[in-house]
């Protein structure tokens, strides 16, 4: 296409656009004019509609107010309805349906709260007064229900039920006494028994049926919320404390003071101490622990009362039990009480952790301190009894004299005493730690050594009662030997040591040698060629034969020997060496000296008598007969037995 044609086409297009724009402007001007007329009309219409709009808004607000009023009235009416339903349940009482009764109380509290916060209602005061009165009545019935429920299901626990809760090893035997543990017999628990008891299982008794506990808990909660904590406290304390005390009385617990204890015969008192040890274990591990458990369950959430209630429930029972222990600890001390005191100390140490746990709250501090005080008092009394025992042994004033020189009753008593001490090794070491930071083994060794020394001092004094010095030595030999042998056969050996044993063995030998020297020196002198004649005649002179010795002198020697031996046989056959080995060794030691000397004398000088008249009058005994008679020494035979 040429340029002219292009330009013509462009002009035609521009003309068309111009015409289009003019038409658009005309349309716009027309639309503006129309809209302007609409604006004028709308303004007039709005002016005409304003009164109607105002009336419509008022009507809408009125409807909203009516809706709000109806809703408020509905809430109030529902509160009235709930109050009416709650009142009906409360008037019926808690017996039929305790759960619904508790729900009704909660509803009443909710209603009181509602009307208390909406006092603008004209009816609020009247409704509040009625609801509060009803609530007070409900709580009063609730208290009565709590008291009745707690009382009905709180019964003393029979002893048999308590025994069934103990480990088998601690259940009473058919005689009604506990088996071998803490029975006042001086028999402490062995290490094995102690370990088995540490792992023993105790089953808490059912003090209140488990199904009742949630109900009691809910009742207690309602009473606490109503501000009736003191009423709750009194009901719980009075009911449970009485039942606990009855359980202990059925078991055999009785309140005994120092005066009661002082009046009792030892056998009766010893049995009561054994029972008390058993009662303490049952009370702490079963009854008090059971009381703590139900108290925590029933009063869960009422923290201000829980600890105080448990303290008040148990305080009298704890006092009764501990008062007996205090009476024993403060009563007149005596050696036989040492082992029961150790038994008592042992049970207090055994129960220490449980007591600390059960009575750990501030409300129970007095009971906790009383138990600790008793433990310390028992330890002090044991220490004092040790000192008393040492003094009593050393100054033993009993008139008992063992005529045959055997082991004195005091010796066997003290040795048995020491043996029992070693049954209580772990207890004694624990006790020593209460007062002294030193090595407890060293302290136990020191106590044992002092007791042994006190016994030896006492025996030395008693040995002086004998007129015959040879019997004095025999008595000391017997008693020291008994001590050494007993130590060797007991745990005391490890504590006292080998040196102690060796030293006292030498002491036994020294007394045996002294006996031989004193008792047999004179008779051996009769058999000595160099010895002087008993009749005061001239000395016998050895000249390689018998030519220088008179027959009369030989006869006199035989007569003197016979008389002295017979006198020794008569007396010393009544004496006693109770240990068979020691007896045989002593006889042998004497025979080894006497018989060779007699044989030699008889062989050398016997023919001078045998050739004369009545030789049997002088040579009465052969060495074999003497040996046989020697075997009758130290048998403790009476004079009549010897004659037979």
CA dist., res. 384 & res. 94, Å (int): 62
SS3 563: helix
158 has a pLDDT exceeding 80: yes
Q: Which of 78-87, 139-148, 249-258 has the highest mean pLDDT?
A: 249-258
Q: The tokens of 459 are what?
A: 């025996």
Radius of gyration in angstroms for the set of CA atoms belonging to the chain, rounded to a whole number: 54
Mean pLDDT is lowest, of 19-23, 144-148, 223-227, 451-455, for: 19-23
CB-neighbour burial class of residue 54 (10 A; exposed 0-12, middle 13-18, buried 19+) = exposed
Q: Is 271 in contact with 184 (CB distance < 8 Å)?
A: yes
How far apart CA 643 and CA 632 sit, in angstroms, is 12
pLDDT at 49 over 80: no
Higher-pLDDT residue of 49 and 639 is: 49
The answer to whether the CB of 294 falls within 8 A of the CB of 207 is: yes
pLDDT at residue 168, rounded to an integer: 86
Phi, psi of 533 (to 5 degrees): -70, 145
CATH 1.20.1280.170 describes domain 159-166+209-378:
yes
φ/ψ of residue 172, rounded to 5: -65, 150
Q: Give the 3-state secondary structure of residue 319.
A: helix
The whole-angstrom separation of Cα 101 and Cα 107 is 10
Residues whose CB falls within 8 Å of the CB of residue 295, separated by 6 or more in sequence, listed in order? 236, 240, 306, 309, 310, 313
Q: Which residues lie closer than 8 Å to 363 by C-beta, 6 or more apart?
A: 307, 308, 310, 311
The per-residue pLDDT for 546 is: 47
Lowest mean pLDDT among 18-32, 174-188, 453-467: 174-188
Per residue in 206-242, pLDDT tens?
Answer: 999 999 999 999 999 988 888 889 999 999 999 999 9
Categorize the per-residue pLDDT at 611 as very low, low, confident or very high, splitting at 50, 70 and 90.
confident
**pLDDT given at position 598:** 94
pLDDT of residue 2 exceeding 70: no
Residue 282 vs residues 14, 24, 177, 320: alpha-carbon distances, Å: 122, 114, 13, 14
User: Phi-psi bin for 536: left (phi > 0), alpha (psi -120 to 50), beta?
Assistant: left
Largest pairwise CA distance in the chain: 209
Alpha-carbon gap, residue 331 to 526, rounded angstroms: 63
Q: What is the mean pLDDT of residues 482-509?
A: 91
Question: If pLDDT is split at 50, 70 and 90, which confidence band does 90 have?
Answer: low
User: Which position has the token pair 């007993």?
Assistant: 486
pLDDT at 539: 39
In degrees and rounded to multiples of 5, residue 277 shows phi and psi of -60, -45
Q: Which two tokens stand for residue 387?
A: 């000192």
Q: What is the mean pLDDT of residues 340-357?
A: 95
**Sign (positive or negative) of CA dihedral 430, 434, 440, 444:** negative
The pLDDT assigned to 502 comes to 95
Residue 581 CB contacts under 8 Å (≥ 6 apart), including other chains? none
The token pair that represents 506 in the structure block: 């030498």
Q: What is the pTM of this model?
A: 0.71
SS (H, E, C) 291-305: HHHHHHHHCCCCHHH
Percent of the chain with pLDDT over 70: 74
Q: How many residues are there in the chain?
A: 644
Q: Estimate to the nearest angstrom the gap between the alpha carbon of 8 and the chain centroid.
A: 130
For 378-387, b/e burial (b = at least 16 CB within 10 A) is: bbebbbebbe
- Please, is 38 exposed, middle or buried when counting C-beta atoms within 10 Å of its C-beta (0-12, 13-18, 19+)? exposed
| Residue 186: pLDDT over 60 | no
Q: How does pLDDT run across 578-599, given as a tens digit for each residue? A: 999 999 999 999 999 999 999 9
- Which residues, 6 or more positions from 219, have their beta carbon under 8 angstroms from its beta carbon? 98, 102, 142, 145, 146, 149
Question: At 333, is the pLDDT very low, low, confident or very high (cuts 50, 70, 90)?
Answer: confident
Q: Of 109-118, 348-357, 397-406, give the lowest mean pLDDT range.
A: 109-118
| pLDDT digits 0-9 by tens, 3-22 | 456 567 767 777 777 777 78
Q: Is 301:221 a contact under the CB 8 Å cutoff?
A: yes
Domain ranges of the chain: 11-153, 159-166+209-378, 392-525
Give residue 538's pLDDT. Answer: 35
**Residue 211 DSSP one-character state:** T
The answer for residues whose C-beta is within 8 angstroms of residue 501's C-beta and 6 or more apart is 484, 487, 488, 493
Residue range 456-471: mean pLDDT, rounded: 92
Check residue 293 and give its pLDDT: 97
DSSP string, 361-410: SGGGHHHHHHHHHHHHHHHHHHHHHHHHHHHHHHT-------TT----HH
- pLDDT, averaged across the chain: 82
Confidence of residue 169 (pLDDT cuts 50, 70, 90): confident
- Kindly tell me if the per-residue pLDDT of 319 is higher than 60: yes
Tens digit of pLDDT for each residue in 525-583? 988 865 444 333 333 433 334 445 788 899 999 999 999 999 999 999 999 999 999 99
Can you tell me the mean pLDDT for 486-501?
88
pLDDT at 75 exceeding the cut of 50: no
């Amino acid at each position: 296409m040429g340029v002219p044609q292009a330009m013509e086409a462009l002009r035609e297009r521009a003309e068309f656009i111009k015409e289009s724009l003019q038409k658009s402007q005309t349309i716009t001007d027309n639309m503006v004019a129309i809209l302007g007329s609409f604006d004028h009309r709308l303004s007039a219409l709005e002016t005409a509609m304003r009164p109607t709009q105002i009336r419509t808004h008022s009507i809408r607000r009125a409807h909203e107010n009516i809706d709000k009023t109806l809703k408020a009235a509905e809430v109030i009416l529902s509160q009235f309805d709930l109050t009416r339903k709650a009142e009906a349940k409360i008037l019926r009482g808690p017996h039929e349906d305790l759960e619904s009764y508790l729900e009704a109380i909660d509803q009443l509290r909710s209603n009181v709260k509602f009307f208390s916060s909406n006092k603008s209602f004209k009816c609020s005061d009247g409704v509040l007064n009625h609801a509060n009165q009803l609530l007070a009545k409900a709580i009063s019935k609730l208290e009565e229900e709590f008291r009745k429920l707690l009382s009905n299901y709180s019964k003393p626990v029979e002893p048999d039920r308590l025994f069934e809760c103990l480990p088998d090893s601690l259940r009473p035997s058919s005689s009604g006494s506990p088996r071998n543990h803490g029975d006042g017999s001086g028999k402490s628990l062995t290490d094995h028994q102690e370990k088995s008891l540490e792992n023993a299982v105790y089953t808490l008794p059912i003090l209140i049926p488990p199904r009742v506990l949630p109900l009691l808990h809910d009742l207690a909660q309602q009473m606490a919320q109503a501000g009736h904590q003191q009423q709750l406290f009194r009901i719980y304390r009075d009911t449970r404390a009485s039942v606990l005390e009855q359980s202990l009385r059925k078991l055999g617990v009785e309140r005994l003071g120092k005066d009661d204890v002082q009046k009792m015969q030892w056998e009766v008192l010893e049995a009561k101490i054994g029972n008390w040890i058993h009662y303490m274990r049952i009370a702490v591990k079963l009854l008090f622990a059971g009381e703590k458990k139900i108290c925590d369950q029933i009063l869960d959430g009422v923290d201000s009362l829980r600890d105080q209630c448990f303290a008040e429930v148990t305080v009298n029972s704890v006092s009764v039990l501990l008062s007996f222990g205090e009476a024993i600890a403060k009563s007149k001390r005596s050696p036989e009480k040492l082992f029961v005191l150790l038994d008592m100390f042992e049970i207090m140490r055994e129960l220490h952790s449980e007591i600390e746990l059960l009575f750990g709250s501030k409300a129970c501090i007095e009971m906790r301190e009383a138990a600790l005080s008793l433990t310390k008092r028992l330890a002090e009394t044991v220490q004092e009894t040790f000192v008393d025992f040492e003094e009593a042994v050393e100054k033993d004033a009993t008139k008992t004299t063992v005529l045959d020189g055997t082991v004195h009753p005091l010796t066997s008593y003290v040795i048995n005493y020491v043996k029992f001490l070693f049954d209580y090794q772990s207890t004694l070491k624990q006790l020593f730690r209460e007062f002294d930071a030193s090595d407890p083994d060293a302290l136990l060794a020191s106590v044992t050594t002092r007791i042994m020394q006190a016994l030896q001092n006492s025996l030395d004094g008693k040995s002086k009662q004998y007129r015959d010095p040879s019997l004095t030595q025999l008595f000391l030999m017997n008693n020291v030997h008994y001590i050494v042998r007993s130590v060797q056969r007991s745990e005391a050996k490890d504590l006292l040591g080998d040196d102690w044993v060796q030293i006292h063995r030498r002491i036994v030998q020294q007394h045996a040698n002294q006996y031989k020297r004193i008792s047999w020196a004179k008779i051996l002198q009769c058999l000595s060629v160099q010895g002087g004649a008993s009749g005061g005649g001239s000395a016998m002179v050895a000249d390689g034969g018998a030519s220088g010795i008179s027959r009369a002198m030989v006869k006199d020697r035989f007569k003197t020997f016979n008389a002295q031996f017979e006198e020794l046989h008569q007396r010393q056959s009544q004496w006693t060496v109770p240990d068979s080995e020691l007896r045989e060794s002593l006889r042998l030691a004497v025979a080894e000296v006497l018989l060779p000397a007699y044989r030699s004398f008889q062989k050398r000088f016997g023919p001078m008598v045998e050739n004369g008249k009545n030789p049997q009058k002088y040579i009465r005994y052969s060495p074999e007969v003497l040996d046989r008679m020697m075997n009758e020494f130290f048998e403790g035979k009476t004079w009549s037995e010897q004659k037979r």
